[in-house]
Amino acid sequence: QCAERIPEAEAVLDLLEKCPEHQKKGDFPVIVFEGLDATGKTTVTQAVKDTLNGILLQSPPACISQWRTVFDDEPTPIKRAFYAAGNYILASEIAKASTQAPVIIDRYWHSTAAYTIATETSGKVQDLPPAQDEVYQWPEDLLKPDLVLLLTVDPEERVRRLQHRGLEKTKEEAELEANSLFRQRVEESYRRMVNPACQEVDASPSKEEVLNTVLQLIRNHCAV
């Protein structure tokens, strides 16, 4: 409906239509890293990719990520539709890549769902949909990863890292920093995801320690 007003929407829909409906995973493991900004996802995903000789992908995928700023300024339903479509476009990239090597992904469906749930709910964690609600279920028609790791650091450490990075904040990042209730809703939504659930990893220690913890979890859950 918004394609006439937003030319980029048409391009996203074209890419989506080219994706096969049921994506089949290859023989190599698919490992997703989730977490708020500044929890170390970029560092860890790069290190895991190098260690496993893997392929690194991210959501939204590279073919549409240049339009993020366009959709971030749109009303919430349009913005969410962009990120949801991005997951399905990414799934076709994962299907192909997982026939060649282990696939490491910087964010996937859980991010889209967690931010959507946290945005649609106001108030405290208790006001979120109950833990067994279907909103926390993985979509049946979306290629499923073998393992999802949720990187967490305490709020003060995360803010310190963000300030150290000195990068321009996204709208969502500004909201996370200004509104601790929103941040708590996002984090709790991540924890309630099922099928697959997130395995939580404390990303506060040194990069080496975090990497060792992550690699041990991957070895325990995946054939690498």
pLDDT band, residue 5 (cuts 50/70/90): confident
Euclidean distance between CA atoms 5 and 151, whole angstroms: 38
SS3 110: helix
For 86-117, what is each residue's pLDDT tens digit?
999 999 999 999 999 999 999 999 999 999 99
More confident residue, 122 or 149: 149
pLDDT of residue 22: 77
pLDDT of residue 36: 84
pLDDT of residue 154: 79
Indicate whether 168 pLDDT > 90: no
Q: Which amino acid is at 33?
A: F
Euclidean distance between CA atoms 161 and 176, whole angstroms: 14
pLDDT band, residue 21 (cuts 50/70/90): confident
In the chain the domains, ranked by start, together with CATH numbers, are 7-221 (3.40.50.300)
Give yes or no for a cis peptide into 20 (omega within 30° of 0).
no
Which stretches of the chain are DSSP H helices? 7-17, 41-52, 62-65, 68-72, 76-97, 109-120, 155-165, 171-178, 180-192, 207-221
Q: What is the mean pLDDT of residues 65-79?
A: 91
Indicate whether 166 pLDDT > 60: no
Tallying the residues shown for the chain, one arrives at 224
Q: Say what the pTM is.
A: 0.89
